[in-house]
Amino acid sequence: MKWEDAEKVMASGGVVESQISFTKYEMLKNGTILAEGTQIDETYMTIQEKEGEWEQVEYLHAETKDDLMNIPDKDIQDLLRKGYKKAKFDMQYRKKQY
């Protein structure tokens, strides 16, 4: 989704993630945007991030061990794929910092 759609998701109480930086964003009821829980304004985001792709964050809920053991394989594969992409980004970003 694009930034405008991501803003609508956040305004309705959802959480979105930038597919450029893998930063999670949410919006408070007063319209304040939080990036990983820290208040920001829109100048915090790079042009590449704002023009990039966004994805709504879906949380898996498991209340019992049985619920956890019965998470569909597709959901587990999606979590692993996203975790790998984030870890790869983090490693590349750290190399650039040092």
pLDDT in tens, 8-18: 999 999 999 99
When divided into structural domains, the chain yields a total of 2
Phi, psi of 34 (to 5 degrees): -115, 135
pTM beyond 0.85? no
> Residue 66: which domain range?
60-98
Same domain (yes/no): 82, 51: no
Same domain, 49 and 67: no
Which tokens belong to 58?
A: 């879906």
pLDDT on residue 69: 84
Continuous H helices in 1-98? 3-11, 47-51, 65-69, 73-97
- The sign of the dihedral angle between the CA atoms of 48, 26, 84, 91 is positive
Res. 94 pLDDT band, cuts 50 70 90: low
Residue 76 sits in the same domain as residue 53 = no
First to last CA, the chain: 33
Let me know whether 69 and 53 are in one domain: no
Give the tens place of pLDDT for each residue, 52-93.
999 998 877 778 888 888 888 898 898 888 888 888 877 776
Task: Specify the residue for token string 């999606």.
Answer: 78
